[in-house]
Amino acid sequence: FCLCFGAEKEEAVKHMADKFGGEYADTERVAREIYKHTERLGTWKIRQQGEDEQKRYTSMRALLGWLGARYEMHHNTLSNQYEVRAINTGEKLYLDWTEVDTRVSNSLFVKMELDNICTTQKKLDTVIRSNFSPEFNPMEEYLKSLPKWDRKTDHIAELAHRVTVMQTGGYRHTEEDFGYAFRKWLVNMVVCWVRPDVTNQSIMVFVGKGGIFKTTFFDHLLPPHLRKYFANDSTGDYKNKDFLQMCASKAIVCLDEFSCLRGKNLDSFKSNITKRNISMRIPYAEWDCILQNNAGFCATSNEVHIIDDDENRRFLIWRIEKIKSPIDFPFNYEGIYSQAVALAQEVIEKRRRGEHCDWVYWFTKEENEEIQRHNLYFRVNNYIAERINKFYRVPDADTPPEFCKFVTASDVMDRICTNPAFRQSMSNKDISKYMEVLGFKKIHRKTGNGWKVIEMRPDEIENNQKMDGSEDIPPEDLPF
């Protein structure tokens, strides 16, 4: 009777032992044997006079008992979804963790009704989205399950050596430079998965020809059972809600076919990937939720010149020659991630004790400056800067004033926009930006602001267009 009416197991066993234990020695054992028939838990209910005309609902205790005897549930804090797994139903449904969407919730409700568990859909959803479903972070659980790193084998270096970067003749673009940057990016991403105060603000970018496993490499960075937390986005629109949803629900987001970002799309991209928390409405939620930005970011492109922004320190761009197939030669996930955890813990512990760290998992100010010099190789040629350099040059400190000229943004636009089509994609703000970047001295006058320039003569312009063998300019001398 206790089983069928949905009484809690331990309470029922204690009651039976107290009442009949003195007379029957094996009372507790028999009671526990009865409770193994979980399919009958809560299937009966007490009917009172007149109940045929009015339906009586199952108590919350019986509802919890029925669910707990048949299913496990948890709140996946990475995907921000509730998930269910069958433990004792005798059915083939939900043998693996399954998201509780509308279909699953309705199926559970129907099964409860068939088992005479009378409740409401709202009550069932309330139970599921309560403390009945404990919080669960799949990335954190995986990292905790790993064996300790042996501190001998450099698994992350072995992983980086699978990628062959193309020699560019400068720009800090060597195998060693790539390995150093890749290690920091990977460890930072792992920390981001489990610490809400850390955001992985660097994007590892592979550029090169198609078919060399660029995207596949990133896809296989996650172990097979966690690969559902990898997202491949090729829309190129970083202003919409779907992109924010990926940031808050995936471990790795790969931006496929990545190209030069401009305007509001660039501003949104920078803002969204650097947010520590994301405010948005998720399914079944009545109010906006504050979600953690969990994702580590990577990107791939067949184009080499993909950045136009001056502040490009977040982009870790590498021109790839070839990659050893992750399909034919699987990664050593335990070794890679156990090492990443150990490196991160070492930095965190040293900083907690106030000790100096020879290596940290983020990029320092000096390293960010190196990244910007490195990225000169991948800059898109800016036509505004090219046009300004064609018609003007920066005066030296000792240039006599009579050789210099004061020009406004309008003067510069009139001079460099020989084709009317240029004016449609150029503004005074753009002119001002690149005059400053190129090093022209700004001058303030009552009639307006402008710059001190030397105007190029026609013969100088013609001479600059001739090939003279001096095309290989060192990277540090390239403004664009």
CB 337 within 8 A of CB 146: yes
- Give the best-scoring range by mean pLDDT among 217-226, 242-251, 301-310: 217-226
φ and ψ at 398, to 5 degrees? -100, 15
Does position 212 have pLDDT exceeding 90, yes or no? yes
* Eight-state DSSP code of residue 132: T
The second-level CATH assignment, the architecture, of 383-477 is Orthogonal Bundle (1.10)
Topology of domain 138-371 in CATH is: Rossmann fold (3.40.50)
Of 324, 5, 21, the C-alpha closest to 159 is 324
Q: Could you report the per-residue pLDDT of 273-321, keeping only the tens digit for each?
A: 777 777 766 665 666 677 778 889 999 999 888 887 767 888 999 999 9
Are 138-371 and 383-477 in the same CATH fold?
A: no
According to the model, what pLDDT value does residue 18 have? 79
> Is 135 strand, coil or helix?
strand
pLDDT confidence of residue 13: 78
Q: What is the mean pLDDT of the chain?
A: 84
**Most confident segment among 13-27, 184-198, 460-474:** 184-198
CB 225 within 8 A of CB 338: no
Could you give the 3-state DSSP secondary structure of residue 379? strand
In which band, very low, low, confident or very high, does the pLDDT at 237 lie, cut at 50, 70 and 90?
confident
Place of tokens 């990898």: 230
pLDDT over 70 at 41, yes or no: no
Model confidence over 65-88: pLDDT tens digits? 889 889 999 999 998 899 999 987
* 223 band by pLDDT with thresholds 50, 70 and 90: very high
In the chain, where the domains are located: 37-46+55-133, 138-371, 383-477
DSSP 280-342: E--TT-SS-EEEE---EEEEEES-S--B--S--TTEEEEEEEEE--TTTS---HHHHHHHHHH
Rounded to whole angstroms, what are the CA distances from 467 to 85, 383, 462, 463? Answer: 70, 20, 11, 9
- State pTM to two decimals: 0.72
Q: Is the pLDDT of residue 144 over 90?
A: yes
Helix/strand/coil (H/E/C) assignment for every residue in 418-469:
CCHHHHCCCCHHHHHHHHHHCCCEEEEECCEEEEEEEECCHHHHHHHCCCCC
Query: Which has more pLDDT, 273 or 173?
Result: 173
- Residue 260: band (very low, low, confident or very high) from pLDDT cuts 50, 70, 90: confident
Pick the more confident residue, 394 or 274: 394
pLDDT of 171 over the 90 cut: no
